[in-house]
Structure 1
Amino acid sequence: MKRRALLATPLVAPLAAPLATPALAQGGTAPRRVHAISLQGDPALPADFPHWPWVNPAAPSGGDVTFGAVGSFDSFNPYILRGAPAAGSSLLYDTLTSSSQDEASTEYAHLAAVIELPADGLGVTYELRPEARWHDGRAITAADVVWTFETLVRQGRPFYRAYWGDVESVRAEGERRVVYRFKNNENRELAQVLGQMPVLPKHWWEGRDFARPLTEIPLGSGPYRLERFESGRSVTYRRVDDYWARNLGTAKGLNNFASMRFEYFRDSTVAFEAFKAGQVDARRENVARDWATGYDFPAMRRGLVKREAIRHEIPTGMQSFSFNNRRPIFQDVRVREALVQVFDFEWLNANIFFGSYARTTSYFSNSELASSGVPEGRELEILAPFRAQLPERLFTEPFRVPVTDGSGNNREGLRRALDLLRQAGWTVRDRKLVNAQGQQFRFEILLDSPTFERVALPFVQWLQRLGIEASVRTVDPAQYRVRIDAFDFDMTVDVMGQSLSPGNEQRDYFSCGKANEHGSQNIPGICTPVIDALVEQVINAPSREELLVRTHALDRVLLWGHYVIPNWHSREFLLAWWDRFGKPERNPRYGLGFPSAWWVDAAKDRALQEARR
């Protein structure tokens, strides 16, 4: 399973990105002791694998690199609601397991040496490696793991309470053995997602308030330590040369830079200019216009800058204009569907995106988990008990997003939208769309970057044709985070990341229990008994085949609820860099491998420095 990246850390993998879990032992009484757990069958690599297949184990270490970040930061504790966490925070801590970017839903022991799966499926035990150390030299213990779990559940983001909600207890048995017990044995991924938990130092946090933003250098165990920072402006991490896991198969060939500096910029436009000026070494591009037209600058023409569009096999999830369904104005599904009809993706793709994107038509887009056609067979059986609570169209016609001719003259869409709005009690009077009380239909689109204004403003103009008064407000990332956590918005841009094995994170995305919990990831405020029931069915799917059909059913119900206006996605990573790096021969199937598997090539670095003089 994969959740929305809570900590959008530029060019660094998000913290504890959820994946999936083990095939738990069945039958007998003896626990199964393994080096990896997977939802897809047996892991591909043996217990003594020397390194990930896609890395260069002989990659040289050294070199200082600079990446860009947008906005600001005021904390080094990314696990709580308060504060804006610094980019790169995930570099500081190790996890019990490490995910394979070449396999779907597979985790290999990292901090743990052995993973023990009981025959009853009601728990998991992790035995820690004796060599695992904090940066101060003290051993990482089972007490650290227990303290971390209990602290995150009690004081961390609401996500953790939903994600680990089926854990009944956790205890330390000695210095290195951590035993979890579960409430039931139906949650197939729970053992695996517990392995993805970042482990924090209990002894360092004693006497400190975990719930407050952290403004001092924390103690970690990972491949980098925090060296220095300038609050809100830059943060530098230094490679730990005696890192305890340096020669493990899960770490060999990774984290090769001597230091990584994250320089903060006001917005993405300024950050791009800094890259072109050579102040930033590499960037992930997410603006189609810039990718199409922005790279014609002198260094690029001289061959000093490289770029590449890298295909991937990662589910792209759902990016959308998200309605705040808590607002009365959006609580009628006909109103939400009407606004979906107004959105003209084809015009945007032709005139703003240079044809770079595909329209998103599923919450599980770019994967076999996406629903299609009409429900049949097993999926129909799953949905049949809820038929009276669902629109009949769900059972008789495929879900389709509107498609226009791209001319910008979306008359048919506007006509359908107006008809739906009239059914919902709205009428046009003096060129204004008003309700029975004469109140105009108006709302605000909240953004955290000026980049998205070029998409939101045309949408505002299309809405004006119906008499709807929509406005756009762009605020700084810190203020945006505060307002989103408090659900203080009408509409915003939301991203729900998914993986090949959806599971526990779906509660935080879609359940009633999270719809009004401050800081949850249920940004749209989705709350229906049907979706709650389907989420639990997805989490408790007993097999891959059943997971697919249950996810299809959930996806279909979400789509027909029109809780969001689906946006678009790309099936490529867009990466640009100054030509001073070496990189592996290939990328992993389900990841980019940058920057973790790249290195500074000394010869290229010297040539670049000469060319820039």
Structure 2
Amino acid sequence: MMGKTPKRELTIKRRDLMLGMAAGSAGAALGLHSSTAYADSHAQELIKSHGYSFFGDLKYPPDFSHFSYVNPNAPKGGQITLSTRGTFDGFNRWAWRGSPETNSSVVGEAMFAEMPWGGPAPADSLTDSYCLIAREIEYPKSKEWCVFHMRKDVVFRDGSPLRAQDAAFTHNLFLEQGIRSYARSVKERIEAVEVIDDHTVRFKFVDGISRRSLIDQVGGTPILSEQWYKQTGERLDEPSIQSPMGSGPYQVGDYEFNRYVVYERNPNYWGWDHPANIGRHNFDRIRIEYFADATAEFEAFKSGEVNFRQEGSSKRWATGYNFASLDSGHVKKESIPDGTAPNNSGIIFNTLRAPLDNRDVRHALSLAFNFEWTRESLQFDLTTQRNSFVQNQDWEAKGVPEGDELAFLQGLGSVVPPDMLTEPAVMPHTSRKDKPSDRRNKREAFRLLKAAGWSVDGKGHMVDEQGARMTLNFLVITSWDDTRKAIIETYSKTLEGWGIKVNASAVDSAQGQQRFLDKDYDLIYTRILTFSTVGTGLKQLFASETAEVSSYNPAALRSPVVDAIIEAALKAETRAAEITSLKALDRALRYERIIAHAGFVPEYWVSYFDMFEKPENLPPLALGALDFWWFNQEKYDALKSAGVLR
């Protein structure tokens, strides 16, 4: 897209990926009170810990006081105001209809700590989770089950106690009313949930399956109030103007539908002094202003109505930041290094729909995208060509497979296409940058299309063997910014020049969201989440079993080799083996040609009024502006005195 794109329309938070959109459900109280009751007949070694890593190693010891990257003395207070585009009509993040407020899941917490606004906690480890609502996790080396021993001081925002019964209820609630791909996945992996007592809950996993992500999954599920759901009659699958009853540090305060929402500090929050929370959740209020278009949104920032902005437009970053408050130094503009693999923005092909179910057709259509021209003409030479689904990470596939990766792929048998074993990993094509359409790429595209049964008729139309014209529907949303729309328009004109009819009329956010969920499109310019570890969440991103229903898989990819790689990867027992399998996955995804990759920016582009501060050394896995930045009251007062802020 246009650099580091704000996580807004048609996106899924990393937390939602880890949870598969979250789950919960009540099990029978069995009256078991001793951990010895959990051990099977061939007594195993039991592990009790303050956190969990599949590989058994944790960065932070049991007595850690805070995550190393936070400022433990960060002051609390103030308001940070951000913006987004689109609309919202409720606060049930998990509803399948309507337009829920994007951040409305922040009210919930889980057994393990996380970043409620998106991202991992801690933000300096890919593999660690630390107890939050749980005070301790217990499990055998075989990981056949796990028990969470919960804190007794946790309360929901209404002050009512959070119990093991609520954790079990939420598990079942998500199975019964949650996203279909998640419910199916969980039912296949989690055999039962049992309430041992008010503060002890046990999850039993299905025999004979990979143990990857099982403990992470149940430990990352937000816990909601059973009593609240029963009293209100609310449903998880229905839109609602009510915010689900959670225990998190923020709650919904003031709001006006389609205009703004304020998340404010929870006065009943139990966990301010928890080590995983020290130096975090520092703002009293987090306000999000909604706008219909990008111009109005940016003007609101320039005027001070919005005071923090993460820029997603290379055009605006290059040409728009020339207003008085920036020139005077009252507004800061920074490029902050981003250590994560960028999400995979670009033109995505819906493989459920013919002719995009043909790999050669997808390859041909990707050749119509001219990155070099786009970079120079629309993105001010600020983006970098992407090669990989995991750009610049140790698990990026390179060259011809060899060593452990080759052995891994060979071990999968005939499901692996022979040329994947002998050819270098797919790399992006190159194009001339002097015009949008490159003749050399057009010739290669027409060769591929001819082999797939397509040709140009006497009218200049691209038709199949029955004479039917190739027609593609491109999903475009009115609130998208001008640069993204310009890229779509340029690409569509190139296809039209090839004789392919493209329907690309923009629709409003609500209609666009529903069409996205229904996969009612041939082409869409959005993103596919990246990956850094192996887990069952990969199945929601890429596996055939959830392709038609998973909102994480906009390409609806159904690939036997990708399925086989994921299954084999789930058996990895070391980080080295995990990295090998992730390289193979990157190679296979590139082979399938499901996206015409756009460029990326290896930085966060941020600008903000000079009243916010951040730790000196930011962690590699998150910017964390809403998580561990803080408000400086003296600087705010100075800006007010100078007349910079309203």
Measured against the shorter chain, the TM-score band is over 0.9
CA change 1:191–1:68 in 2 (3 A) is same
1:281-296 mapped onto 2 (5 Å cutoff): 281-296=307-322
**1:526 & 1:499 partners in 2: Cα distance?**
16
The question of 1:572 aligning with 2:572 is answered no
Q: 1:10 and 1:228 mapped to 2: Cα distance?
A: 25
Determine the C-alpha separation between the residues in 2 that align with 1:43 and 1:309: 31
Q: 1:475 — aligned with what? A: 507
Counterpart position of 1:77: 92
Deviations 1:443-488 (A, max 9, x none): 1211224321111111112223322222323222221110111111
1:607 CA drift (Å): 0.9
Query: Secondary structure of 1:77's partner?
Result: coil
Alignment of 1:245-260 (within 5 A): 245-260=271-286
2:572 to 533, 541, 555: 541
Matches within 5 A, 1:504-519: 504-517=536-549, 519=550
Cα deviation, 1:55-80, whole Å, max 9, x if unaligned, reads 11212222233221211111211123
- Per-residue CA deviations over 1:66-107 (Å, capped at 9, x if unaligned) read 221211111211123222221432331212111210112211
Secondary structure at the aligned position of 1:568 is classed as coil
CA distance in 1, matches of 2:308, 2:293: 16
Instruction: For residue 16 of structure 1, report the CA deviation from its aligned partner.
Output: 4.6
Which residue identity is paired with 1:553? A
Q: 1:119 aligns with which of 141, 148, 165?
A: 141
Residue 192 in structure 1 maps to residue 219 in structure 2: no
User: How far has the Cα of 1:196 moved from its partner?
Assistant: 1.4
Distance between the aligned counterparts of 1:288 and 1:159, measured in 2?
35
The Cα offsets for residues 285-331 of structure 1, whole Å up to 9 and x where unpaired, read as 11111111111111111111112111121122422311111112212
Aligned to 1:171: 194
Measured at CA, do residues 218 and 392 of structure 1 come closer, stay the same or move farther in structure 2, by a change above 3 Å? closer
Which of 578, 581, 597 is the equivalent residue of 1:550?
A: 581
Match runs of 1:334-373 below 5 Å: 334-373=360-399
Relative distance call for 1:301 and 1:40 in structure 2 (3 A) is: farther
Task: Give the equivalent residue in structure 1 for 2:473.
Answer: 444
Counterpart of 2:63, as a letter, is D
Which digits, 9 at most, give the CA deviation of each residue in 1:12-32, with x for residues without a partner?
A: 975455299xxxx9x962311
User: 45, 53, 61: which one pairs with 1:30?
Assistant: 45
Question: What SS does the corresponding residue of 2:93 show, helix, strand or coil?
Answer: coil
Mapping for residues 207-286 of structure 1, pairs under 5 Å: 207-286=233-312
- Secondary structure at the residue paired with 1:172? strand
CA distance, structure 2, for counterparts of residue 496 and residue 10 of structure 1: 10
CA–CA distance in structure 1, aligned partners of residues 272 and 13 of structure 2? 18
How big is each residue's C-alpha offset from its partner over 1:561-603, in whole Å with a ceiling of 9 and x where there is no partner?
2122222222111111111112222211211121221222111
Q: TM-score with structure 1 length normalisation?
A: 0.93
Q: Hey, what's the Cα distance between the residues in 1 that align with 2:206 and 2:386?
A: 36
**1:122-172 deviations in Å (ceiling 9; x for gaps):** 121111111111122221111111111111122112342255341111111
CA distance in 1 between partners of 2:593 and 2:246 (Å): 43
> CA deviation digits over 1:410-446, x for unaligned, max 9?
1111111111111111111232212222222221211
Does 1:413 pair with 2:437?
Answer: no
The 10-residue stretch of structure 1 (131-140 or 233-242) with the greater mean CA deviation from structure 2: 233-242
**Mapped partners of 2:588, 2:13: distance in 1:** 31
- Seen in structure 2, the aligned counterparts of structure 1 residues 94 and 456 have a Cα distance that, compared at 3 Å, is same
AA at the equivalent of 2:480? P
SS of residue matched to 2:57: coil
Q: Quick one: distance in 2 between partners of 1:154 and 1:530?
A: 31
Mark the CA change 1:271 to 1:611 in structure 2 (over 3 Å): closer, same or farther. same
Whole-angstrom CA distance in 2 between matches of 1:79 and 1:216: 12
342, 353, 356: which is aligned to 1:316?
342
Q: 1:6 to 1:488 in 2, by over 3 A?
A: farther
Whether the 8 Å CA contact 2:372–2:433 is kept in 1: the answer is: yes
Q: 1: distance between equivalents of 2:244 and 2:191?
A: 30
- Which ranges of structure 1 fall in alignment gaps of 5 or more residues? none
Uncovered stretches (5+) of structure 2, i.e. residues with no partner: 21-38, 114-120
Match of 2:626 in 1: 595
Identify the range of structure 1 (36-45 vs 56-65) with the bigger mean alpha-carbon deviation. 36-45
Which amino acid is the alignment partner of residue 227 of structure 2? H
> Quick one: structure 1 residues 43 and 195, their matched pair in 2 at CA, closer, same or farther if it must change by over 3 Å?
same
**2:412·2:565 contact (CA, 8 Å) conserved in 1?**
no
| Secondary structure of residue in 1 paired with 2:433 | coil
Question: Which SS does the other structure have where 2:182 is aligned?
Answer: helix
* Alpha-carbon distance, 1:120 to partner: 2.5
Counting matched residue pairs gives 604
Residue matched to 1:139:
161
Partner of 1:463: 495
Question: Cα distance, 1:550 vs. partner?
Answer: 1.8
Q: Within 5 A, what are the aligned runs for 1:1-80?
A: 8=8, 15-16=15-16, 18=18, 29-39=44-54, 41-80=56-95
Q: State whether residues 9 and 88 of structure 1, in contact with CA within 8 Å, keep that contact through their aligned partners in structure 2.
A: no
Q: What is the deviation of 1:504?
A: 1.0
Q: Secondary structure at the match of 1:309?
A: strand
Q: One-letter code of the match for 2:94?
A: Y
The residue type paired with residue 471 of structure 1 is N
Return closer, same or farther for 1:396/1:94 CA change in 2, 3 Å cut-off.
same
Deviation at 1:202, TM superposition (A): 0.8
SS at match of 1:125: strand
Provide the C-alpha distance between the structure 1 equivalents of 2:19 and 2:337, rounded to a whole number of angstroms: 21
- CA distance in 2 between counterparts of 1:523 and 1:498 reads 13
Instruction: Give the share of equivalent positions with the same residue, in percent.
Output: 30
Give, as a single letter, the amino acid of the residue that structure 2 aligns with 1:423.
A
Cα shift at 1:194: 1.9
Q: Are the counterparts in 2 of residues 130 and 176 from structure 1 also a CA contact under 8 Å?
A: yes
Distance 1:169 1:79, change over 3 A: same
Change (3 A) 1:379 1:179: same
Distance in 2 separating the partners of 1:67 and 1:14: 20
Q: Report what 1:423 is aligned to.
A: 451
Instruction: Write out per-residue CA displacement over residues 250-285 of structure 1, whole angstroms, 9 at most, x where no aligned residue.
Output: 111211222222111113332112111111010111
Would the aligned equivalents of 2:8 and 2:84 in 1 still touch at CA under 8 Å? no
User: Paired residue for 1:401, among 428, 432, 441?
Assistant: 428
- Matched to 2:508, the amino acid is D
Q: Secondary structure at the match of 2:142?
A: coil
